[in-house]
Amino acid sequence: MRILVVGAGAVGGYFGAHLVAAGRDVTFLVREARAERLRADGLTVARLNDDLTVTPRATTAADLVGEPPFDLVLLSVKSFALDQAIADIAPAVGPETAIVPLLNGLRHIETLQAEFGDRVLGGLCFVATMLDGDVVRQLSPLQTIMFGELDGSRTPKVDAILADLQDAGFEATASDHIRHALWEKWFILASGGAVTTLLGGDVGTIESVPNGTSTALAIVAEAAAVAAAHGFEPRPAMRERAESTLTERGSDFTTSMFRDMSQGLEVESDQILGDLVRRGLEKGVPVPLLAAASARLEVYRAGRA
């Protein structure tokens, strides 16, 4: 199976490097400067217990034109880079190509389906990594890709992808309920992102102040209500996980959205919070705290412009 990994950042770089190390046929689609560095210096993943360095095949969008289509496209860009990524991968997508996006939220699925139809599968990942210069640093043992047909069917395409992703140094799982899994991850991300960015601190600090815990729990309740209104209520264990994580006494837990905002970086505010607010209002679900968090992030983004 020929695999195109779009992006060699914290997510694509992590999973792509492991696929290369496992002997899979992998090409990274990156910008020219990044391609040159990958060819010259390789791609290093600083894992929890050791380092992994591979010398991957790297290409640019211009070089894809005229090449045969790939069997699998792993799309690991940020939501604000999605439109450009769609244009870039178009030459690499043939009638039998499967596209597995690893973005957050759900709106990207609809955008990709409008362009590529049923070649788009649902996909998500659980991984805690960051890009430090050109080095991908693993921050926790989480390292899972989950994917599946959006209609819940189990197809030969899914089985073929699973066979190629398994035994590559991370966990790969095919799900017959990928939409529910996508909603649950969105619920978790939105809850954590809203709590930490609206209240402006780590969980331990938020828990220590008056009304901190009650506000965090109210945000979790709003996010769960939106998911439930769309037919994808988070399982009790997932809701309990969100509540306990976001109210733990003394915890230094923050979110990537909060860290990005603290460092003056672009944030996926509309993909994760803005879209959830809209979907809540469509169903008549009150979401005042999620809306406030979304507005807070939009003010931040306006200040960066």
Catalytic residue among 78, 157, 185, 283: 185
Instruction: Identify which of 167, 174, 125, 108 has the alpha carbon closest to the alpha carbon of residue 13.
Output: 125
Write down how long the chain is. 305
Question: Which CATH superfamily hosts domain 181-299?
Answer: N-(1-d-carboxylethyl)-l-norvaline Dehydrogenase; domain 2 (1.10.1040.10)
What is the pLDDT, as a whole number, of residue 264?
A: 95
Domain 2-176 has CATH 1.10.1370.30: no
Question: pTM of the predicted model, to two decimals?
Answer: 0.94
What is the reported pLDDT for 244?
98
Predicted pLDDT at 29: 98
- DSSP per-residue string spanning the chain: -EEEEE--STTHHHHHHHHHHTT-EEEEE--HHHHHHHHHH-EEEE-SSSEEEE--EEE-HHHHTTSPPEEEEEE---GGGHHHHHHHHGGGEEEEEEEEE--SSSHHHHHHHHHHGGGBPEEEEEEEEEEETTEEEEEEEEEEEEEE-TT----HHHHHHHHHHTTSSSEEEE-S-HHHHHHHHHHHHHHHHHHHHHHTS-HHHHHHSTTHHHHHHHHHHHHHHHHHHTT-PPPHHHHHHHHHHTT-TT-----HHHHHHHTT----HIIIIIHHHHHHHHTT---HHHHHHHHHHHHHHHHH-
- Kindly report the backbone phi and psi dihedral angles of residue 35, in degrees, each rounded to the nearest multiple of 5, phi listed first: -60, -45
Name the segment(s) of the chain with CATH classification 1.10.1040.10.
Answer: 181-299
Angle 76-77-83 from CA coordinates, rounded to 5°: 125
pLDDT score of 58 = 97
Domain with CATH 3.40.50.720 in the chain: 2-176
- Taking the chain (305 residues) in consecutive chunks of 10 residues, what is each chunk's mean pLDDT? 96 98 98 95 97 97 94 96 97 98 96 98 95 94 97 97 98 98 98 98 98 99 99 98 98 94 94 98 99 98 90
Contact 182, 166 (CB under 8 A): no
Q: What is the pLDDT of residue 208?
A: 98
pLDDT of residue 305: 77
Would you call 78 a catalytic residue per the annotation?
no
